[in-house]
Amino acid sequence: MKSVLLTRSESANNSFKQALADYNYEFLDCSLIDYQLQPIDFSILEDYKDVIITSNFAANNLPQAPSDVMYAWVVGAKSARILESKGYKIRFCAPDAITLKQQIPAEIYENTIYLSSNHITVNMPLHITRQIFYNVSYLESLSKEQILRYKKGVDYILLYSENCAKTLMKLILENDLLNYLENTTIIAISSKIEMVVKSHFRNRVVCSGDDLILKYLKK
């Protein structure tokens, strides 16, 4: 039985496990990130025509579109599908925030709002309004049980964000786990995330989206 280290939030990890329930994997939960929604008056959306969403968590917690002409600029096909189901019209779906930023035309900046976390790696253009929608915190230590299990080796580690990749590397190095994970394959959702671990892991795969990650693991 091959093992998969799941690094997203508990709810996201559970959804992933369900998607692979018919496959013979050992799932190891290691939630590197935690989310806390912040108070927000969603009537603010009525002042804008376009919204930027760069995470599944934000997409899941966004309300129904306030009008028939609310457009969305989004990272990830899964988030795009979630927003479409809520009545948003997808202007552009990008594999990462940098690509998304490059596609947003300057003439809509002042009519666009970015609903983000308190900690972001890509700043949107200056004249786009940023509203903090949720706070994120990152895992600070591994349990003794996790350390002992990872020393037995892990076949795959899934990484979805640059900050989570950095957090993982910090925890691995702090606990002298690198030698035990030398045969691990990193599955990163973008090449930018892959670069964080490139100097430490020789086995790496980039799958630009949840669907491609699932397809890879179902092979």
Same domain, 106 and 122: yes
d(CA 63, CA 125): 24
The CATH number linked to 179 is 3.40.50.10090
Among residues 136, 153, 180, which one ends one of the domains? Answer: 136
Same domain, 93 and 61: yes
Cβ atoms of 75 and 53 closer than 8 Å? yes
Same domain, 116 and 40: yes
Residue type at 44 in one-letter notation: I
Same domain, 64 and 13: no
In this model, does residue 209 exceed pLDDT 90?
Answer: no
Among residues 136, 169, 203, which one ends one of the domains? Answer: 136
Q: What is the pLDDT of residues 159-193, one digit of tens each?
A: 998 999 999 999 999 999 999 999 999 999 988 89
Structure tokens at 17: 């496990």
Cβ atoms of 42 and 133 closer than 8 Å? no
Same domain, 132 and 158: no
Same domain, 149 and 172: yes
Domain that holds residue 68: 36-136
Contacts of 31 (CB under 8 A, 6+ apart): 6, 7, 8, 9, 10, 13, 139
Number of domains in the chain: 2
Residue holding tokens 């002992």? Answer: 148
d(CA 153, CA 2): 10
Q: What is the pLDDT of residues 79-130, one digit of tens each?
A: 999 999 999 999 999 988 999 999 999 999 999 999 999 988 899 999 999 9
Same domain, 26 and 40: no
Buried b (16+ CB within 10 A) or exposed e, 47-86: ebbbbbbbbbbbbbbbeebbeeebbbbbbbbbbbebbbee
Same domain, 61 and 26: no
d(CA 115, CA 155): 35
Confidence of residue 140 (pLDDT cuts 50, 70, 90): very high
pTM strictly above 0.85: no
The pair phi, psi for residue 48, each rounded to 5°, is -130, 160
Same domain, 42 and 121: yes
Q: Rg for the chain (alpha carbons), in Å? A: 18
Q: What is the pLDDT of residues 36-51, one digit of tens each?
A: 999 999 999 999 999 9
